[in-house]
Structure 1
Amino acid sequence: MKDGQPSAIYLKDYQVPAFLIDKTELTFDLDESVTIVTSRLHMRRNPESKFRTSPLILDGGEDVKLIALAMDDYQLPPEEYRIQNHQIIITATADQFILTCETLIEPQNNTRLEGLYRSSSMFCTQCEAEGFRHITYYLDRPDVMSVFTTTIMADADKYPVLLSNGNEISRELNEDGKTVAVWHDPFPKPAYLFALVAGNLEVLEDTFVTQSNRTVELKIFTESHNIDKVDYSMDALKRSMKWDEEKYGREYDLDIFMIVAVDDFNMGAMENKGLNVFNSSCLLASPKTTTDDGYQRVEAVVAHEYFHNWSGNRVTCRDWFQLSLKEGFTVFRDQQFSSDMNSPVVKRIEDVSFLKTAQFAEDAGPMSHPVRPASFIEISNFYTLTIYEKGAEIVRMIHTLLGEALFRKGSDLYFDRHDGHAVTCDDFVQAMQDASGIDLSQFKRWYSQAGTPRLTVTGDYDKSAKTYKLTVSQMTPTTSNQPTKLPLFMPIRVGLLDTKGQALTVELDGESKTNHVLTLSKSEQVFEFFNVDEAPIPSLLRGFSAPVKLSYDYTVEQLAVLMSSDEDGFNRWSAAQELAVRELNALITQAKRNEPLSIESQLLVGFKHLLSDESLDKSMVSLILNLPSQAYLSEISDEVDPQAIKQARTYLKQLIAKALEQEFADCYERNNIALDYLPNAEQISQRQLKNVALSYWNESGSIAAKKAVLSQYHSADNMTDQFSALSIAVNTDHDDSTSMLEQFYDQWSHEALVVNKWLMLRAAQETEHGLEQIKALMSHNAFDLKNPNKVRAVLGGLGNSVSTFHDESGSGYAFLADQIIVLNKRNPQLASRLCTPLTRWRKMKPALSVLMQQQLERILMEELSKDVFEVVSKSLA
């Protein structure tokens, strides 16, 4: 970095704000060239602050131009305040006053997509975490909560829809031909929850009657060409509202709830009070343009943002170090919802698979941090999988330890105790402890310790005493700034099986049952089971009851029993994954040595049984049939050789495909049933298994399978089947893959979200001239550097292409670094997230590691945003 290094912010330095804002009155005069923002802040000194004479310091952004500043009715001359580091500093203030601030901003030039900006023809906002300061000067911190009234003025013809938080209290046409709309939100909120949208939009309307018999208006806004794609989102919203009332007793509190779809958005969606703003990819859905995965993502994100109304809005976080207070809890809630709407086992497998692949890698990488970080340079970098996914696992452990009834009692106490306040992770745990009577003081270490704990388990059976002892030890590897790790408190759900896979009823702590929860709190503990009639096979960590890496010396035969018979569906999948990992690791070693690949796969018997048993959950079967991903195998490798991993996966899949060719063909035909498309659990599972079977069948080299791929592509009446067939063809060099790609684009060039899928598939394609193809895609009419979804599609696809990204010349790494440098100036949030593949350089084989490191060092030589500097500098430290 050319200039001085950005400084870190530390949790230990937290102080309550010196000032509070009781009321915030905002006026926006929107225009295509400039927007004038006027704020009237009803302020007073905070009686809880010990700094009684502190100056008033308001946060601003580099693109905010101050026009006028007044305290009460007095216009402050420049000598009575100063602007320094984008902050206004006023030394002399009364204890209570109204500060009026007029600023000028240019939303059309805002490429960072924070604050107020334009997307297509509409104005919209994104204020979390610190976007509000790019609109006007403010106390931009989550513990300053204020009641907002927002006035929006805009051309009546161009912007007939004017929206903000709360309820609309007036609307009129002024003499300048502008609509003037006034919105009032009666619930205090921090500035990060502020929202504004103005545009020429269509709306889908509905209502919801709450448990107290209040009628709430529901409105989803989109651009006109997308209004036919939000029916499913409306249905998901209504189901979310009903579920939250029944599961958590949480009723919606305003008269109206609104969602707006926006094409240009850095995140997935934002829970602004009463006015959620969504990335269009998380809201729009139709059978012809959206895959089953897309439908499930829409359902989950709509639920997540709605659930934030209580776990994030009514009760929010005191400071950004507590971000998981709202995000971890709300992810857990949306996971519960999705489980109830679909298959709980499948949902759990999908969530854990993502956690073990991506979050565990984050825990082991340079950006490793606790769920409650001790410091940060740029808060946007901490919207991480650790905060969200691991944070959700921490809440899940509390749920497991307390049980359903006590957890509900704890959540009720938490909401009642802290409604309208900004609080901490400790406050959440304390409410759970107070409601349940269970001591969770040691459990709080999960929030402050970084890294993934490792459990080592051994078993000892005493035939004469009919006892079985499980010895469980835990350790967490050292991480940056945390050389010492203390034992964690966690639940370990276990069961015991006989050699035929039948569940054993055994006694532990005076209770006889087939499923037990062990509570681990020491570095090593022994748990003794009684009345065990034979040497058991332990089914450990059922449902993935704690986010840990587990080591137990299973035999191949024991894993086969667990895969075929365990009553815990998650552990059936886990056993299959472990078998596959063992075989793949052997093949990877052969590939690294340039030896011919060869193995006798133990998966064949289990896979054959799965394919023939029609009583099983089809989605679960399809997940078990999927081999561990390239990313997961990389995460668990001590030294990553991408080409060797790719060769091993390809070989094993083809071996299984050829050995079970008929079984896969039969499975495909059984499930290839024409039905009117519905995104329900039954149909999704059928399509999922059908397409996994087709993928394997095609890998066998069967001419009939290749014809089936082509036939499914052309006859499909839904995007799931069409895109699955296209992906299979592209990833296996199908004879017709080129013509299929061209036809697909021609068919869907008018649908931006479908085109994004095409961009990613093309970018990830393994070809001899991959980098040239990536460059061509970035020059394609379908690509737009200003749109984060399109950037993620192409550069995310690049990262998934082993031959292109990991080319031995380093050209893939250099190209990604080039794009990071460009985006650093345009959209720092997006640029910092694109650094992730390069940050894993220490795990790569030496030849690639050096090339990655060189690109990080090259990036660091640039004049960097805080976002990119933090990630790159920590990666090289």
Structure 2
Amino acid sequence: MRTEDPRPIALKDYSEPDFWIDEVHLDVDLAPETAQVRSTLAVRPNASRPGKDSLRLDGEGLELLEVHLNGEKLGPNRYQEDESGLTIMEVPAGAFTLTTVSRCNPAANTALTGLYLAGGIFCTQCEAEGFRRITYMLDRPDVMAVYRTRITAEKALAPVLLANGNCVESGVLEDGRHFAEWHDPYPKPSYLFALVAGDLGCVRDAFTTASGREVDLRIYVEPGNEDRCAYAMDALKRAMAWDEKVFGREYDLDIFMIVAVSAFNMGAMENKGLNIFNDKYILARPDTATDLDFANIEAIVAHEYFHNWTGNRITCRDWFQLCLKEGLTVFRDQEFTADMRSRAVKRIADVRMLRTHQFPEDGGPLAHPVRPDAYIEINNFYTATVYEKGAELVRMIYTLLGAEKFRKGMDLYFTRHDGRAATVEDFLEALSDGSGVDLSQFKRWYHQAGTPEVMASGKWDGAQQEYVLQLSQVCPPTPGQPHKEPLHIPIEIGLLGEDGADLPLSPIGGTAAASGAHVISLTKREQTFRFKNVTAKPVPSLLRGFTAPVKLSSNLGEREWAFLMAHDSDPFNRWEAAQKYASMILTGNIAALSNGKIPRAGTGFAGIVRKILNDPGLEPEFVAQMIVLPAEQTLAQAIGQDVDVEAIHSAREAFRASLAEQLYAEFERAYNENETPGTYSPDAEAAGKRSLRNTCLGYMAATGRADAIALAKNQFDTADNMTDSMAALGVLAHTDCPEREEALRAFHDRWKDDHLVMDKWFALQATSPLPGTLSRVRELMAHPAFSLRNPNKVRALIGSFATANQLRFHESGGEGYRFVAEQVLALDKINPQVAARLLGAFKSWRQFEPVRQAHMRETLERIVSQAELSRDVYEIATKTLG
């Protein structure tokens, strides 16, 4: 807990440790309240930092019992213990062994970092700095050691004993307890250590690698959940095969294990050979999981597996390099999903995620570079900027290099740095050397915060038959960075003719691009690009595929956006045009409603939607994405300042209802045509049909017609899968109709004993736009299935209300802010990581109108004024206030 303002840790202050640790032998004797750990470290001095005669180890919340140096038990005069670690005085000048014996209390560890006991399962979470809560260690990512772990426990308490690596020995002891010993031959930092013990069921399979080795695959779950593991296992095998084919990376151990637990702060953790997952991202059956759940399981299983090379075999030198493993691995899992499903739909989803979560972060008081310069609490830098923007940086490099050169650069990176702790500079140098492309200017993306704004102005010169495109870039000031240097921004461009077809591009001074697309590089503050042989005035399609994480503005008007929405051959830009066109109408309608004027019905937009709905050549999932209006949060970002949440909600709902009335017959036809009878399948084609069908159901219900509500109720009553059930329940839960409470009660009664399905029930009610939602959320906190100690419950109920219900969280009286603040302060005493993440709901507080701003400032000041705050909450709250 904070007793004084904590001092930031800065990248510029990094230095190597005084000692290296080559081997770690752990003997862990498990008991709920007194887990005892004997740790033996093989230590050697760092030759580049000679003359150090004392060793400082990290340790928190431990009871120290014994210290031995080279086998000699030390007296208290030879070491010094404090609340943050242990110092051994007068260590030998050469290599030595250090043994410590300590105890911790897993049952009392509600923060869920280090070694904890939840739901009868012993589990560890060591990233970023949790290993120090298990035993004393140089708990930093650049100290890499080979681990041997022996676990002992009562067999009745923990019949399954797991750790990293391969199991080398197991058996029963004379006192009836049993043990298992695990050896991981690959050096790793302490944050990748893992241990799990408990009563667990197991699902097994195998994978044969490209070199012919057979790998034992296991997924461990709570007994009774074995029938929900098939899709996760299938996703794992597909990810292993994909990584061999696309990146040339083969798995290295004899066994790969996943454990699913219900109390976990994160989505999952990539511990070497023993991935630990939030069970939300493993367990799935058609009746309990939605299509989105299946897709998330596929992506996250792949992500954690891909970390075996981008994160484990090559790890981070320090925590400032977090994007090196996370941004790169997110890019890899995005590409995997794009290959498994629809590349177009995946790109839309990724950009929507970026704009919803990362752009506001970049534009507010919490803005930080992809590689931060400093932090108070490293847990606070597991952000959208590090992950999602970090992935976009890798994608830009891929765009600039091309697939072949990118692969050469990655191969060189793996060869150079295997078994090492690397930096962003190491990564960029390998890609540059492997491809022959200079990335020196590109490096600025890693240390400049903020979202660049690119301004585009195009003009057709009929006399010269040229299209002239003028581009400029600017990046607004961010905290600590008032001045920005020009970035290297790749922009893919196409030109569309009058018939909507792509024109062949002939850039002056470049080579023709017959495909109709061309990547140009904006490297200066202002540049002009000329394209020859353009015989008629074109419509430009700019930033195709969203080739850079920028905000693009242009001199295109509503007419051009409508044309691109109807014709663009680039799927992402076609969707983008639909969003731009709809946003223009909606922002105009918001202003009209505020001034007492009549909003537009959007007949032109509706006409294009009608054509899209009737186009048999389009994927159903892509059609669903094309017809969904910009979210209320997106519209708030577009307005920028003095945001009025009621006006946004009213304008969007009115326009949605207007479209539904104009196109009711088309929505009804698409609803009926996209039914998926027969056995449920989570594959992309079937999931796409359900997505379009349920989007159409939502539109029809927006009219308020009795037949549409009856259709939703009938779908809810007859659905044979969770996707259709939840879609129908969502319509009813967000509509003021008699069927609402009946459906919510029926869903509850069926699923009240399934904790994952109940989380969906909580979230639906927390995101309802109906009056009284906050009161309902407060009531649900007393529900037997809810617990502040379980992060999934907090995220489902309180997190959904705070981050996904703009209308009700931001009610003008400020009650929503005060409610979330109450929960943040209560959680801070239980689980500071989860508490700090809830505060993200306040990150854009300055964009709202003055009354709401005042309420949010007052709320944040109240939090900061508390005498005892964790570093996690203190850092986020103070930075948000600015």
Q: Scaled by the length of structure 1, what TM-score is found?
A: 0.98
Superposition map of 1:306-317 within 5 A:
306-317=305-316
Counterpart residue identity of residue 356, structure 2:
T
Cα distance, 1:656 vs structure 2: 0.6
Structure 2 SS opposite 1:742: helix
Deviation string for 1:186-212 (max 9, x for gaps)?
000000000000011110000000000
Residue matched to 1:481:
480
Cα distance, 1:456 vs structure 2: 0.2
Classify 1:459/1:803 alpha carbon distance in 2 versus 1 (closer, same or farther; 3 Å).
Answer: closer
Distance in 2 between the 1:68 and 1:596 partners?
A: 78
Tell me if the contact between 2:124 and 2:196 (Cα under 8 Å) persists in the aligned partners: yes
Structure 2 SS opposite 1:296: helix
Residue matched to 1:826:
830
Distance in 2 between the 1:187 and 1:3 partners?
A: 40
**1:746 equivalent among 746, 749, 760:** 749
Deviation string for 1:556-603 (max 9, x for gaps)?
221111111111000000000001111111122234345554444431
Residue matched to 1:715:
718
Cα distance, 1:811 vs structure 2: 1.2
**1:524 equivalent among 523, 526, 529:** 526
Distance in 1 between the 2:263 and 2:805 partners?
A: 25
Counterpart residue identity of residue 865, structure 1:
S
Residue matched to 2:289:
290
Residue matched to 2:415:
416
Tell me if the contact between 1:380 and 1:867 (Cα under 8 Å) persists in the aligned partners: yes
Counterpart residue identity of residue 765, structure 1:
S
Residue matched to 1:426:
425
Counterpart residue identity of residue 56, structure 1:
L
Verify: 1:89 aligned to 2:87, yes or no.
yes
Residue matched to 1:815:
819
Residue matched to 1:865:
870
Residue matched to 1:511:
512
Structure 2 SS opposite 1:636: helix
Structure 2 SS opposite 1:511: coil
Residue matched to 1:217:
216
Residue matched to 1:461:
460
Structure 1 SS opposite 2:747: helix
Structure 1 SS opposite 2:757: helix
Distance in 2 between the 1:705 and 1:668 partners?
A: 11
Stretch of structure 1 that moved more, 559-568 or 1-10: 1-10
Superposition map of 1:273-422 within 5 A:
273-422=272-421
**1:687 equivalent among 665, 680, 690:** 690
Distance in 1 between the 2:81 and 2:600 partners?
A: 69
Counterpart residue identity of residue 577, structure 1:
Q
Deviation string for 1:315-360 (max 9, x for gaps)?
0000000000000000000000000000000000000011011100
Cα distance, 1:553 vs structure 2: 1.7
Distance in 1 between the 2:492 and 2:597 partners?
A: 41
Identity over the aligned pairs, expressed in percent?
47
Cα distance, 1:755 vs structure 2: 0.3
Distance in 2 between the 1:727 and 1:490 partners?
A: 41
Tell me if the contact between 1:763 and 1:777 (Cα under 8 Å) persists in the aligned partners: no
Residue matched to 2:799:
796
Distance in 2 between the 1:84 and 1:157 partners?
A: 36
Deviation string for 1:248-298 (max 9, x for gaps)?
110000000000001000000000000000000111111000000000000
Distance in 1 between the 2:434 and 2:600 partners?
A: 57
**1:568 equivalent among 559, 567, 570:** 570
Cα distance, 1:375 vs structure 2: 0.3
Counterpart residue identity of residue 510, structure 1:
T
Deviation string for 1:784-826 (max 9, x for gaps)?
1111000111112322334532222211111110100011111
Residue matched to 1:495:
494
Stretch of structure 1 that moved more, 705-714 or 414-423: 705-714
Cα distance, 1:77 vs structure 2: 1.5
Distance in 1 between the 2:255 and 2:546 partners?
A: 39
Cα distance, 1:658 vs structure 2: 0.8
Tell me if the contact between 1:587 and 1:599 (Cα under 8 Å) persists in the aligned partners: no
Cα distance, 1:852 vs structure 2: 0.6
State how many pairs are aligned.
Answer: 875
Residue matched to 2:18:
18
**2:546 equivalent among 533, 544, 547:** 544
Superposition map of 1:75-86 within 5 A:
75-86=73-84
Stretch of structure 1 that moved more, 208-217 or 636-645: 636-645
Tell me if the contact between 1:451 and 1:478 (Cα under 8 Å) persists in the aligned partners: yes
Structure 1 SS opposite 2:427: helix
Cα distance, 1:699 vs structure 2: 1.3
Structure 2 SS opposite 1:188: strand
Tell me if the contact between 1:378 and 1:867 (Cα under 8 Å) persists in the aligned partners: yes
Stretch of structure 1 that moved more, 51-60 or 501-510: 51-60
Verify: 1:765 aligned to 2:786, yes or no.
no
Superposition map of 1:231-310 within 5 A:
231-310=230-309
Structure 1 SS opposite 2:694: helix
Stretch of structure 1 that moved more, 214-223 or 612-621: 612-621
Distance in 1 between the 2:154 and 2:72 partners?
A: 32
Residue matched to 2:150:
151
Structure 2 SS opposite 1:834: helix
Distance in 2 between the 1:722 and 1:252 partners?
A: 39
Distance in 2 between the 1:349 and 1:598 partners?
A: 27
Distance in 1 between the 2:820 and 2:595 partners?
A: 30
Residue matched to 1:46:
46
Tell me if the contact between 1:18 and 1:54 (Cα under 8 Å) persists in the aligned partners: no
Tell me if the contact between 2:676 and 2:686 (Cα under 8 Å) persists in the aligned partners: no
Residue matched to 2:650:
647
Structure 2 SS opposite 1:503: coil
Residue matched to 1:778:
781
Deviation string for 1:471-524 (max 9, x for gaps)?
110111110100110000121101100122111012121324211000111111
Counterpart residue identity of residue 664, structure 1:
F
Residue matched to 1:838:
842
Distance in 2 between the 1:657 and 1:54 partners?
A: 76
Structure 2 SS opposite 1:185: strand
Tell me if the contact between 2:64 and 2:102 (Cα under 8 Å) persists in the aligned partners: yes
Counterpart residue identity of residue 538, structure 1:
P
Tell me if the contact between 1:643 and 1:802 (Cα under 8 Å) persists in the aligned partners: no
Distance in 2 between the 1:764 and 1:612 partners?
A: 32
Counterpart residue identity of residue 200, structure 2:
L
Counterpart residue identity of residue 844, structure 1:
F
Cα distance, 1:636 vs structure 2: 2.7
Stretch of structure 1 that moved more, 190-199 or 637-646: 637-646
Classify 1:172/1:311 alpha carbon distance in 2 versus 1 (closer, same or farther; 3 Å).
Answer: same
Counterpart residue identity of residue 66, structure 1:
L
Cα distance, 1:707 vs structure 2: 1.9
Counterpart residue identity of residue 428, structure 1:
F
Verify: 1:6 aligned to 2:11, yes or no.
no
Superposition map of 1:573-612 within 5 A:
573-593=575-595, 595=597, 597-612=599-614
Structure 2 SS opposite 1:450: coil
Verify: 1:854 aligned to 2:858, yes or no.
yes
Superposition map of 1:649-668 within 5 A:
649-668=652-671
List runs of 5+ in structure 1 lacking aligned partners: none
Verify: 1:727 aligned to 2:725, yes or no.
no
Tell me if the contact between 1:2 and 1:861 (Cα under 8 Å) persists in the aligned partners: no
Counterpart residue identity of residue 79, structure 1:
N
Cα distance, 1:158 vs structure 2: 2.3
Q: CA RMSD in A?
A: 1.2
Counterpart residue identity of residue 716, structure 2:
Y
Tell me if the contact between 2:734 and 2:770 (Cα under 8 Å) persists in the aligned partners: no
Classify 1:222/1:446 alpha carbon distance in 2 versus 1 (closer, same or farther; 3 Å).
Answer: same
Cα distance, 1:111 vs structure 2: 0.4
Distance in 2 between the 1:196 and 1:359 partners?
A: 33
Tell me if the contact between 1:469 and 1:529 (Cα under 8 Å) persists in the aligned partners: yes
Distance in 2 between the 1:524 and 1:839 partners?
A: 32
Residue matched to 1:192:
191
Cα distance, 1:73 vs structure 2: 1.6
Tell me if the contact between 1:587 and 1:648 (Cα under 8 Å) persists in the aligned partners: yes
Residue matched to 1:205:
204
Cα distance, 1:438 vs structure 2: 0.6
**1:624 equivalent among 604, 623, 626:** 626
Tell me if the contact between 1:390 and 1:547 (Cα under 8 Å) persists in the aligned partners: yes
Tell me if the contact between 2:256 and 2:274 (Cα under 8 Å) persists in the aligned partners: yes
